[in-house]
Structure 1
């Protein structure tokens, strides 16, 4: 029993999540490979209602035509909601009008930044491959990518850095790191 607990504590984060490795094009798990595509979102706020409806139908048709494709939508930027609430509460408590005015300016600035970043969403397609032969997998993945492009969506297969960022956002909500390490502490190792 003690040995099992000790072994469990020594397991890496990847092992705890069931990830065997992150390659240049997929995440290899105990249940098969996960291949991700990054879909660049369209700014629908500038499109007329008919064009928005057409985009939605195109996405529905594309997704329904491919079995086993999953869609993920994640915020890829930080949220300032808690900070804005802090400024609001702090303004209610503040007696000095000059300080209240500064707090209001800060809150307004954060509101403006939040609006600017509303389009900072990332959309991913996840395709699960279980024991697929390489040529079959390649054909399937190329077909999916082609269908999305044919229906007017900008898409590309996620690379290793994209996959690490996706995992960091999904599990840790880390949106600030520029480059992710393959191993904890990798940046501290000296290359000789």
Structure 2
């Protein structure tokens, strides 16, 4: 490898660029579909069996379909552990009260976020042409939808949000810029123009 070539995070994880349909990696193009979760706690046993059967059917129709389950916001375990440790060691009653309030708040937020799961399907394309990819994407989305799942192909902004959560670049999935530091460059240019 030449000394001039710099390895950034993008290179290390194999991401090359966004495409019209998804993300291009060094090995494949990946298209992501967001699937609305079903609250099975309110379904009867028979309806749960139907949902499982529908999912099994989708997976048999699209054998290369990958399933991703993730939180839609960063987990709070580390923060809760830290506050709990501090709470055990703290002797000042006023500080203990504040730490307990923080711990309760984190519990409350985590409970709200626990129902905020994201379920994604992914399809990898290795040698297909763009027009083939479009046709396959349409068929995949149709097959998933016809089996009782609400599905949507993720756009660039949604994929960026998902990657930001996955790699810990954002706690709540804020939109990240296409270019690292882009906002600072714009601000510097604006300040320069004002002079």
The answer to whether 1:118 aligns with 2:106 is no
Q: Secondary structure at the match of 1:175?
A: coil
Q: TM-score, normalised by structure 2?
A: 0.82
- For residues 173 and 51 of structure 1, what CA distance do their matches in structure 2 show? 38
Q: 1:7 aligns with which of 4, 7, 31?
A: 4
Counterparts of residues 20-169 of structure 1 (less than 5 Å): 20-97=16-93, 99-169=95-165
Q: Count how many residue pairs are aligned between Structure 1 and Structure 2.
A: 188
Q: TM-score, normalised by structure 1?
A: 0.83
In terms of mean alpha carbon deviation, does 33-42 or 54-63 score higher? 54-63
Residue-by-residue CA offset, 1:67-126 (whole Å, 9 max, x unaligned): 211111122212222222233333333345554444333322221221111122212111
Gap change, CA 1:104 and 1:13, over 3 Å in 2: closer
Instruction: Report the Cα offset of residue 127 of structure 1.
Output: 0.7
Counterparts of residues 164-175 of structure 1 (less than 5 Å): 164-172=160-168, 174-175=170-171
Contact residue 34 and residue 127 of structure 1 kept, 8 A: yes
- For residues 122 and 184 of structure 1, what CA distance do their matches in structure 2 show? 26
- For residues 55 and 141 of structure 2, what CA distance do their matches in structure 1 show? 13
Q: 1:185 aligns with which of 174, 181, 184?
A: 181
Contact residue 36 and residue 124 of structure 1 kept, 8 A: yes
Instruction: Report the Cα offset of residue 184 of structure 1.
Output: 0.9
Instruction: Report the Cα offset of residue 173 of structure 1.
Output: 5.5
Q: Cα RMSD between the aligned structures?
A: 2.4
Contact residue 76 and residue 175 of structure 1 kept, 8 A: no
Contact residue 37 and residue 125 of structure 1 kept, 8 A: yes
In terms of mean alpha carbon deviation, does 12-21 or 94-103 score higher? 94-103
5+ unaligned residues in a row in structure 1: which ranges? Answer: none
- For residues 134 and 178 of structure 2, what CA distance do their matches in structure 1 show? 26
5+ unaligned residues in a row in structure 2: which ranges? Answer: 191-195
